[in-house]
Amino acid sequence: MLNQLDKALVRERIARRAEREIVSGSYVNLGIGMPTMVANYIQGGKQVVLQSENGLLGIGKSPLKEEVDPDLINAGKETVTAQEGASYFSNAESFAMIRGAHLDLAILGGMEVSETGDLANWMIPGKMIKGMGGAMDIVHGAKKIVIIMDHVNKHGTSKILKKCSLPLTGKQVVNRVITDRAVMDVEESGLVLIEIAEGWTVEEIVESTEAELKISEHLRIGTY
Amino acid sequence: MLNQLDKALVRERIARRAEREIVSGSYVNLGIGMPTMVANYIQGGKQVVLQSENGLLGIGKSPLKEEVDPDLINAGKETVTAQEGASYFSNAESFAMIRGAHLDLAILGGMEVSETGDLANWMIPGKMIKGMGGAMDIVHGAKKIVIIMDHVNKHGTSKILKKCSLPLTGKQVVNRVITDRAVMDVEESGLVLIEIAEGWTVEEIVESTEAELKISEHLRIGTY
Amino acid sequence: MKTIYTSFAEAVAEIQDGSTIMVGGFGLVGIPENLILALVDSQVKHLTVISNNCGVDDWGLGLLLKNKQIDKMIGSYVGENKEFERQVLAGELEVELTPQGTLAERIRAGGAGIPAFYTPAGVGTLIAEGEEVRVFNNKEYLLQTALKADFSLIRAAVGDHAGNLVYNKTARNFNPMMAAAGKVTIAEVEQLVEPGTIDPDHVHTPGIYVQALIEGAQEKRIERLTIRQEA
Amino acid sequence: MKTIYTSFAEAVAEIQDGSTIMVGGFGLVGIPENLILALVDSQVKHLTVISNNCGVDDWGLGLLLKNKQIDKMIGSYVGENKEFERQVLAGELEVELTPQGTLAERIRAGGAGIPAFYTPAGVGTLIAEGEEVRVFNNKEYLLQTALKADFSLIRAAVGDHAGNLVYNKTARNFNPMMAAAGKVTIAEVEQLVEPGTIDPDHVHTPGIYVQALIEGAQEKRIERLTIRQEA
């Protein structure tokens, strides 16, 4: 139970840090699961338009019980509402919007990220394959791709790798990774550590990261 | 003047014959110029939906003076109205509809047609090129392509040729040609004469046609 | 002008063993509920089904699956269905997974007479194996071909006798592209109205794409009811 | 949320010599009249213009042409304009003619992140010279690449502050695709309204595609007035 609570707190920490990626006035796609949680932490002053790849630009709050419309869901199949100024469209138009790089930002979950920005987040060989949904399109779509994930797996092994071991969702597509421990940018020169979460040291991050990590000159510690 | 009147009568004759191509319940695109005239002769009982490639399915009559909406035109840029049950859409959707073979029939004008169904109707070398508009798309779109045209040019030379001399609009795209003198089908075996207009004989048609003409077993004479 | 059915059994009667069918919807939203039920009753077999998802165990396409009427499924996400997993692992069901945007665009291409196009989705991944890769402006793209169907079963909120359709909110999803990509498109509409009722500027699917319509009441099951409390 | 201009001169101020611009409209229907007039006043030169037509001698894009601001024109039909002919014959104006459906699809592809696609239009004709031909299902198709623009100038009937647009009748034409294919899209709207005024199901162009809006009254000149007499 305590462990579960910890997990929830860690997820909230990641989501709150990810929220800082969202610039006011921008168009954002949030992946299913933890990324969807990010919406709960969007700061009051920010004007953000959230896109749902099933055909909605301008996701609003969850509906009140009496507002529920079964024809109105997000990509995670949860009932939602639409903001003022929203629009509905087909999946073809939705992915034209995504593929055409009209979204400013996508925040997606990850299973593994490589130091060259490869992302694996859709299948584990040997386990039932559920499908990639829209992830393979989205990683090539938004102007900035931010991945949020745990830094290590349950065995303590790094999920930030030299090379992904799982089948890829996209190759050289990730711009930034936010984990429970650190924030890293994928740059021409390699993977750069730019922020460290509260309670962790540079040495601990480097040690728990399989990928080669360059330390940013502007590294900030305890930012979240 | 008499000559002009004759010309108008000949055009009407062609248009009336072309109208017989239109099956009730079908979707039809009429090209600019003489083909547009065909709409004037559509028999009362027929339910026909005319498509205009600028983005209208269900062209209605010309507007009364007080009905004119400058935002509502056909592909010939003439003011029109919309039928009950009409819809408006973008040019991309319009040509998706055309290219995707959803139209049953297109009736277009022609400068030259070859015995293999090549069509030339958009440019004359040495003269100013105005552009092909939608013709190159439409000839690959509708399920049946009918060309209406004069049988010979003003010098009396055949416009139904073994091979087109003018730059093509489309290769092997024509299904049927209707002229002031005859109706011919493009078939695997070649160009087949199936009907002759009033006042002409088989010999006269063959003589005024450069293309090799097969005579249909079911040839009908004086049908229009 | 269009065929208007009053019996769902009749509406699906032409669908034969081995047909390829597209079925609209995203999750359980926007699916033609009664057409699917009629297809189950019809016992038609060996279907190839193109749909983003495959329903849940006891609703939507999951019912066809349970009844073993599907030989092959083309979709982007099929994870809500235990029977699906069982049939795949048992080799009873062939699956072709395609990125959602690629699926939507392949269906659009099918209806639009575009035989093939290039897209970045899937470059450098498993799904690119055996596919043609081509560089445009220094970026790699995959060649993808169009998808068509013998029958498209779609759902709209309102349809008129001319075949024009209007969808409600996110129930639009794959329905418009499938309407155009089906050789025969059967639209299940919540409300059937006379031509002239729908403003021509509000039409989502022009009537030309629709061959038949049928009015049907929808259950609209909710997969993930998420509500907020009054503040 | 969007830039709302009140001066047309300001609206076009960022367009520079040598820019590629898309301009909505079919004939004179749906053209952004005041944005074009402002572009004439701006004296910006060496433009590449992508538009289905090129206006008439004294209206629409014809004004830019007369003022010799266009170096290159990409369109499908440019026959309504004598000055056009003169400039082409004098070698002052480069023209790229493309079939109308191919033009529409190339612009759609530009906005949709599709770098290239295959289409049957033009196979076996002059415009296929030097182009890649490929066979799919025993039919020949031409490879065509996407078109994008630095600026798209479009017109809508209604726009809201979130950038959502609604077009009127056949004034829709090329405007929606151009809205998506412009790096910067400026929409001239007949009526500017608050967000929430337009039903989200009636939006033709979602706001994400539009960077700026300006309200403007339209003359709406008619090229071929065709009327019928009361019966």
D223 found inside a domain: no
Strand partners, B152: B158
Confidence band of C187 (pLDDT split at 50, 70, 90): very high
Spell out a b/e string for B5-44, using b for 16 or more CB atoms within 10 Å of the CB, else e.
Answer: eeeeebbebbbebbbebbeeebbbbbbbebbbbbbeebee
Cα–Cα distances in angstroms (integers) from residue A103 to residues A32, A50, A106, B47, D195, in the given order: 17, 9, 7, 45, 20
Which pLDDT tens digit goes with each residue over D123-159? 999 999 999 999 999 999 999 999 999 999 999 999 9
**Touch test A–B: 3 Cβ pairs or more under 8 Å:** no
Has residue C221 been placed in a domain? Answer: no
Question: Domain for residue D225, yes or no?
Answer: no
Spatial separation of the C-alpha atoms in residues C19 and C45, rounded to whole Å: 8
Could you tell me which residues are beta bridge partners of residue B192? B185, B214
CA C100/CA C106 separation, integer angstroms: 10
Q: What angle do CA B6, B10, B15 make, to 5 degrees?
A: 145
Domains delineated in chain B: 1-221 (3.40.1080.10)
Residue D128 DSSP code: G
Could A88 and D195 be called an inter-chain contact, meaning their C-beta atoms sit closer than 8 Å?
Answer: no
Phi, psi of C153 (to 5 degrees): -110, 115
- Distance between CA atoms of A47 and A184, rounded to whole angstroms? 26
Q: Place A5 in a pLDDT band, splitting at 50, 70 and 90.
A: low
Candidate from C113, C118, C204 with C-beta closest to D116: C118
pLDDT at C80: 73
- Per-residue DSSP letter, B122: S
CATH number of the CATH domain containing D65? 3.40.1080.10
pLDDT tens string C131-186? 999 999 999 999 999 999 999 999 999 999 999 999 999 999 999 999 999 999 99
What average pLDDT does the segment D74-97 reach? 89
What integer pLDDT is reported at residue A17 of this predicted model? 97
Distance from the Cα of B34 to chain C's closest Cα (Å) equals: 25
Cβ <8 Å between C108 and B100: no
Report which of D204, C123, D201, D112 is spatially closest to residue A94, judged by C-alpha positions.
D112
Q: Report if residue C165 sits inside a domain.
A: yes
Model-wide pTM > 0.95: yes
Which of D100, D119, D165 best tests the B interface by mutation, with the highest count of B CBs <10 A?
A: D100
Residue A62: pLDDT above 90? yes
Taking every pair of C-alpha atoms in chain A, what is the biggest distance, in angstroms? Answer: 53
Residue D132 lies in a domain: yes
Under 8 Å between Cβ of A185 and A144: no
D228: left (phi over 0), alpha (psi -120 to 50) or beta: beta
E-assigned strands of chain C? 3-5, 20-23, 47-50, 70-75, 94-97, 116-119, 133-136, 139-145, 149-160, 165-166, 182-193, 212-215
Q: Do A170 and C108 touch (CB under 8 A)?
A: no
Q: Contact D152/D22 with Cβ under 8 angstroms?
A: yes
Sequence-ordered list of residues with C-beta below 8 angstroms from that of B185, at least 6 positions apart, any chain: B175, B176, B177, B191, B192, B194, B216
The number of folded domains in chain D is: 1
Asked if residue D220 is part of any domain, the answer here is: no
Are the C-beta atoms of B57 and C207 separated by less than 8 Å?
A: yes
Cβ contacts of C26 within 8 Å, gap of 6 or more: A54, A55, A73, A77, A91, C52, C53, C170, C173, C174
Check: CB of residue A120 under 8 Å from CB of residue A169.
yes
D201/C136 touch (CB, cutoff 8 Å), yes or no = no
Q: Provide the residue type at A114 as one letter.
A: S
Tell me the per-residue pLDDT of D175-226, one tens digit each, with 9 for 90 and over. 999 999 999 999 999 999 999 999 999 999 999 999 999 999 999 999 999 9
Could you tell me what percentage of chain C is helix, strand and coil, using 3-state DSSP and rounding each to the nearest 5? 25, 30, 45
| Sheet hosting strand A112-114, strand order edge to edge | A119-120, A112-114, A160-161
Give pLDDT tens digits along chain B (224 positions).
446 668 889 999 999 999 999 999 999 999 998 999 999 999 988 999 999 999 999 999 999 999 999 999 999 999 999 999 999 999 999 999 999 999 999 999 999 999 999 999 999 988 888 999 999 999 999 999 999 999 999 999 999 999 999 999 999 999 999 999 999 999 999 999 999 999 999 999 999 999 999 999 999 999 99
Alpha-carbon B90 to chain mean position: 24
Strand pairing partners for D214? D5, D188
- Phi, psi (degrees; rounded to nearest 5) at B92: -65, -45
Probe site for chain A from D208, D209, D210 (most A CB atoms < 10 A) = D208
A63 CB-side CA count, 13 A: 18
Neighbours of chain C (3+ CB pairs under 8 A): A, B, D
Q: Which residues of C touch B57 (CB under 8 A)?
A: 206-208
B69 contacts D230? CB cut-off 8 A = no
Tokens of D51: 């538009």
Residues of D with CB under 8 A from a CB of C: 105, 109, 112-120, 134, 136-137, 139, 141, 145, 166-169, 200-202, 204
- Answer with the residue of higher pLDDT: B189 or D230: B189
Chain C residues whose CB is inside 8 A of the B49 CB are 1, 162, 207-208
Per-residue pLDDT of A169-211, as tens digits, reads 999 999 999 999 999 999 999 999 999 999 999 999 999 999 9
The predicted-structure confidence for A101-133, as pLDDT tens digits, reads as follows: 999 999 999 999 999 999 999 999 888 889 999
Interface test mutation site (partner D, options C114, C135, C169, C175, max chain D beta carbons within 10 A): C114
Return the CA Rg of chain C.
18
Query: Is residue D31 assigned to a domain?
Result: yes
C19 in a structural domain:
yes
Instruction: Report, as residue numbers or ranges, the catalytic residues of A.
Output: 53
| Full residue range of the structural domain in which residue D193 is found | 3-215
Cα–Cα dist C217/C230, whole Å: 31
Q: Do C139 and D115 touch (CB under 8 A)?
A: yes
Q: What backbone phi and psi angles, to 5 degrees, belong to D29?
A: -90, 125
What's the pLDDT at A1? 41
Collect all residues with Cβ–Cβ distance below 8 Å to A135 and sequence separation of at least 6.
Answer: A31, A108, A121, A122, A169, A170, C99
At D22-70, the pLDDT tens digits run: 999 999 999 999 999 999 999 999 999 999 999 999 999 999 999 999 9
**Cross-chain residue pair C164–B51, CB shorter than 8 Å:** no
In tens, the pLDDT along C124-141 reads 999 999 999 999 999 999
| Cβ pair A168:C125 closer than 8 A | yes
Residues C34-93 have pLDDT tens digits of 999 999 999 999 999 999 999 999 999 999 999 999 999 999 999 777 888 889 888 999
Q: Chain B: nearest CA to D53, how far in angstroms? A: 9
Share of residues in chain D with pLDDT > 90 (%): 93
Catalytic center residues of B: 53
Single-letter amino acid code for the residue at B149: M
Q: For residue D155, give the H/E element and its range.
A: strand D149-160
**Chain D residue at shortest CA distance from A86:** D200
CA distance B95 to B106: 13
Which residues does chain C have within 8 Å of residue B102's beta carbon, measured at their own beta carbons?
111, 180, 208-209
